[in-house]
Amino acid sequence: MMCFPLIKRLGYNAVQIMAVQEHSYYVRFGYHVTNFFAPSSHFGTSDDLKSLIDRAHKMGLLVLMDIVHSHASNNMLDGLNMFDGTDAHYFHSRSKGHRWMWDSRLFNYGSWEVHRFLLSNARWWLEEYKFDRFRFDVVTSMMYTHHGLQALKYLVGRSLSQAKLFKVAEFKSN
């Protein structure tokens, strides 16, 4: 990748690759994971992704994977939702298992099967693709059932007239 020499010259020692896992909603940047054990086709083939990571390593860069273990696709025809005919094989059942803000499913971290699945998934990415570290997406979804979103919605709505608003931009190059 042409940007690795520039990244190294600027003094950075790591890169983070986002939206790595296969997902269904490409317009939403890849956080509706449908296949936890497959790289997104946006990276080309599996060998293309492995080659990208190898090139980064040869330049002395660590490669972090933005791994999505906080939620999954809501789709029933692909992914894990309704995997066994119920909505609770890997996820919390009923409304507790749905993240309304992102229209996605929330894992049931109290389940040993979920622990085994997610840990084996993390290990697979480390061994198969040689990622060095992970950045876990939306950790609050793993820790809290309420996510604090209702309180935030209330506070933002209440104080919006007095708030100083800032725009934050991210640059994404495909």
What string of pLDDT tens digits covers the 174 residues of the chain?
578 999 999 999 999 998 889 887 766 666 788 889 999 888 789 999 999 999 999 999 999 999 988 878 777 777 777 778 877 788 888 777 777 777 788 888 889 999 999 999 999 999 999 999 999 877 776 766 655 555 556 556 555 455 444 444 444 443
Tokens matching residue 78 = 């692909």
| Domain residue limits at 69 | 3-159
The amino acid sitting at 168 is V
pTM beyond 0.85:
no
- Domain membership of residue 9 (yes or no) is yes
- Domain membership of residue 169 (yes or no) is no
Q: CATH number of the domain at 35, please.
A: 3.20.20.80
- Domain membership of residue 46 (yes or no) is yes
Encode pLDDT of 90-101 as tens digits: 888 877 777 777
- Domain membership of residue 11 (yes or no) is yes
Number of H helices, E strands in the chain: 5, 8
Helix, strand or coil, per DSSP, at residue 136 = strand
Q: How far apart are CA 115 and CA 69, in angstroms?
A: 10
- Domain membership of residue 22 (yes or no) is yes
Q: How far apart are CA 127 and CA 140, in angstroms?
A: 27
Q: What's the total number of domains in the chain?
A: 1
- Domain membership of residue 165 (yes or no) is no
Encode pLDDT of 115-133 as tens digits: 999 999 999 999 999 999 9
Residues 6 or more apart whose Cβ sits within 8 Å of residue 156: 163
pLDDT score of 27: 63
